[in-house]
Structure formats: C-alpha cells, structure tokens
Amino acid sequence: VSFERIAPALAAVFLAAAPAFAPADPTPPEGASAIVRETLDAALEILGDEKLSDDQKLARIEELSYARFDFQTISRLVLARGWRQMTEEQRGEFVEEFKRHLSVTYGQNLLDYKSQKIEMRDSRLEPNGDVTVRTEVVGGPAEPIRIDYRMRGNEQDWLVIDVIIEGVSLIQNFRAQTQEILTSKGPQGLIELLREKNEAAQKGG
Amino acid sequence: MRPSSARARALLSAALLLGCATSGAVAQGDGRGRGESLNRGVFWLNLRVDDYLLEPAAQGWSFVTPEAVRLAVDRLFVNLRFPIRFAANLGQGKVRPSASELARFLVNSTLGVGGLFDPARRLGLEPYGEDFGQTFGWWGIGTGPYWVLPLIGPSDPRDALGLLFDTALDPLTWLNLGVPGIGALDVVNSRALAADDILRARAAALDYYVFVRDAYLQHREALVRDSESLSGEPAPRGPADDLYEIEDEEEDEEEP
C-alpha cells in the first residue's frame, strides 16, 4: 500500500469534521445537461399522464427517445471492430434491430417509474468533447438509482450515445456480448439472434 | 447471499443475480479462455438452482406478503449487517461515513424497530454501503480473473476474499447457528424483490452469462471508483474514454 494511497485517507481523518469536498469542476457545457433535463421531464410527463394507456405511453416514449438517441453511433460503438465486418446492408439491419431491442426490453421498465423524481447532479466534460450528464432517480421504494447519460454534440444538438446505470455502461455491456457472438456466429448470426430476441420479447410483452 | 450495499441491491440486482456480489477491472476479454468453460458451467448450475428452488420460493413469498413487508424485511437485514459497512468504511479511512452508519444503526435499531423502518434518513443520516471487496479495491488490490462461485454467483479472487471478511463480521452468520432459516429468509426475500429486474435482464440479454459477467465487473469497478472519489479526487470517472472512440481503419483496441 503506497503512501499516496494512504495520504488522502489520513487527510480525510483529520478533516473529518470539515464539510465534504466541493465538486471539482463546476462548469461543463450546460447545454447537454439542459437537454437531458428537458427530455426526462417530457418522459416523466408522459409516464404520469393518467389519460394514456401503457401502450400509448410506450409509443410516445419511443418517439421521444428515437429523436434523442444517436442509434447509428451507439451501434458503431457497440460493434466496434464488428462494424467493419458488416456490409452496408447488415449495418442498417443491425441499427434497426438494436433500436427495437432497446425499445422492447428497456421501454417496459419505464412504466414502473411513475412516482419517482429525477435529480440532476453535476455534469462532466469528457476529454473528447462529450459530456456526461449525471442524474439520480429518487423517491422510489428502494435506494436511489444513478443513471448517467453520455452526450455527444454535433452542430445543432446533443444526442445520447450511452446510458450508464449504476456504473454499468450499455455500450460496454452490449459490446462484451456482441463480441463473443460475432466470433462464434458472425455478423449475420448476430443480427438473426437479435431479431429472434426481439420477436420473442414483443410476443411476450 | 452477499451482503452488498442497499444501493447495489436496488439497482441491478438483476445483473448481480444469485448473490448480489462484489469487483474490478472492466475487461474486454477477462474471464474468457481457461476459466470460462468452468465459469459457464457453474453459472448454468446456479441458474438451475434458481429456476427450481429459489425462484419458486420467492414467488411463494411474494404471494403471501405485500411489497411493503418485503422492503421492510430487506431493511431489517441491511440494518443487521451494519458491522460490515462500519468496518469496510473505516478500512478506507472514511470516518464520517462510518460514523453515519453507526448513527443510522443506533437510530434505526431503536426508533426504526430493529431496522424495519428507516427514520435515520429523515434525520439526514445517509447510508454508505461498503463491503470488504470494495475496501480491498480501494487499497489497490486488483480483482484477478472473473469467477462464478457455486450458489454465490459472480465474484473474483479479491471479492471472494472480501466476502470471507464480510461473512465473519455478518451477525447473520452467528444468528444462523442459533436460529436456522434466517439466512434463507434473506435470500428468498432479496430474490423476490429483484424478480422483475431479473426477468427483464434475462429477456434483454443476448448472452446472459456475458451480460452478468460484464455488468458485475463494471458495477464493482464503479463502486471502487466512487470510493476513491470520496477521498478527494474529482468526480468519479465513467467508463474508459476509448470505449467511445469510433474505430476507423486501424485496430486499436487496447488492454487496460
């Protein structure tokens, strides 16, 4: 155990009575954070609307998130090297199926989130210009859930390129899964598997 | 069942299934190779135990109890395990968090009827879930290879060692000797609370084994990172930056 490791601990012991450390960097782009806030507010409004059926809610949430997520970039990042192994047509298919996958599997989860509130925490400018917007879902029956959104800006907008739930990045997680499937089944096999999963989920849901 | 922090439990209990667990290096490729077929075998076995024993038991338990009761029971067990969090926080030099945990334990054990309720939170006493796997991570000990332990689930050498320390400090370990079945209640209750998440995770995963492995490794690493950030570093870092680089022509995937 190095001294560098222990020094902060010792400091913490001596400073125990002092207020907690202030956040380091207060002003990364507020634009990305505002966009996330806006989108989440809109989503909560849809979920809290008692006049809508669950299906209607899901349809509206889908519409909202399709406009806000950059599925092309998400797919490229998930597939990494696999993207290059795919033909233009396979890429298009993958993007569509992956989009549908996130919608049928994760959309359903949202219906639980009626009464919760979302608190914004400090966002962070990443070295490559992305912004990580950090949020916390509070007021549920259990502990708060931390959800971070990695945002990438283009000329006119900020789009979501990753969602990180309690430290688990969606991109990293799906990359780990798809890499193994790409190795064993190839690009077409991966797309087929995704399609089967989606069809099963849609039937089941 | 691993005495994880309440937060860990709340969140991806799905991914951490079969023993909300503990760990480290986010690795593309960790856990494959030599150990993988053994890991997959044990994982498969754990799933069978879940299918035939744990899940039905949890369903039965859910049938006879309202969710409020299950949540209260969960709080009770979390409260009981206060010694683990207290010691694991101290082990990282986190005096204030451990003091907060101590105060929570005193308040919730009395006013909160043994921990069934959480009045401490209303008094502004926040929980600081820590376990010894995290403490060892904070000390700079690496995770080693990914392991799936029989009946316990996802782990690794560091977290397995941490689990030994947790278990030694866990009042449940001692209670179980006198009152059998208490540990089983905790496991079944936790499984019941995580039921929806687990169902969805299994539906969403393309390869459930890899899904769990990766979620476990990422989540544990994030917990250790969070611990570090408390000790004075800036806000906790997210996943590695190269995760977000679009690859062009060159192969530049790198080992961490």
Mean pLDDT to the nearest integer, A105-130: 83
**Nearest Cβ partner for B244 among A128, A148, A180:** A128
Distance from CA of A85 to the nearest CA of B (A): 11
Asked if B206's CB is within 8 angstroms of A143's CB, the reply is: no
Query: Rounded CA gap, B58 and B52, in Å?
Result: 11
For residue A169, the cross-strand partners are: A164
Q: Give A56-60's long-range contacts (Cβ < 8 A, gap of 24+).
A: A57/A110, A57/A111, A58/A103, A58/A107, A58/A108, A58/A110, A58/A111
Q: Return d(Cα A29, Cα A51) in angstroms, integer.
A: 36
CA A102 to chain centre: 10
- Predicted TM-score (pTM) of the model is 0.82
Share of residues in chain A with pLDDT > 90 (%): 52
pLDDT in tens, A151-183: 998 878 899 999 999 999 999 999 999 998 999
Q: Which 139-198 residues of chain B touch chain A by CB within 8 A?
A: 139-140, 193, 196
Q: Which uninterrupted H or E stretch holds A38?
A: helix A30-48
Q: Which of B10, B31, B26 is nearest to B221 (CA)?
A: B26
Q: Under a CB-based contact definition with an 8 Å cutoff, are residues B24 and B220 in contact? A: yes
- Using a CB cutoff of 8 Å and minimum separation of 24, what contacts does B57-64 make? B57/B188, B57/B191, B58/B188, B58/B189, B58/B191, B58/B192, B58/B195, B59/B192, B59/B195, B61/B188, B61/B189, B61/B192, B62/B192, B62/B195
Q: Which chain A residues contact residue B10 at CB under 8 A?
A: 140, 142-145
Among B6, B204, B223, select the one facing A143 at the smallest CB separation.
Answer: B6
Cβ–Cβ of A169/B243 closer than 8 Å? Answer: yes
Give me the sign of the Cα torsion angle B158, B161, B163, B168.
negative
Tell if the CB–CB gap between A77 and B140 is shorter than 8 Å: no
pLDDT tens string B119-167: 999 999 989 999 999 999 999 999 999 999 999 999 999 999 999 999 9
Q: What's CA B255's distance to the chain center, in Å?
A: 26
Q: Would you say residue B103 has pLDDT above 80?
A: yes
What is the predicted pLDDT for the residue at B60? 97
In a mutational test of the A interface, the residue from B94, B118, B218, B224 whose CB has the highest number of chain A CBs within 10 Å is: B218
Give pLDDT tens digits for B160-205.
999 999 999 999 998 887 788 899 999 999 999 999 889 988 888 9
Q: Using the beta-carbon criterion (under 8 Å), do A126 and B28 form an inter-chain contact?
A: no
Q: Chain B residues with CB inside 8 Å of A141's CB?
A: 67, 71
Q: pLDDT for A69-100, tens place per residue?
A: 999 999 999 999 999 999 999 999 999 999 99
Chain-chain contact of B127 with A167 (C-beta, under 8 angstroms)? no
Which one of A9, A148, A177 has the shortest CB-CB distance to B93? A9
Select the residue from B189, B247, B249 to test the A interface by mutation, using most A Cβ atoms within 10 A: B247
Please tell me the distance in Å from A119's CA to the nearest CA on chain B. 16
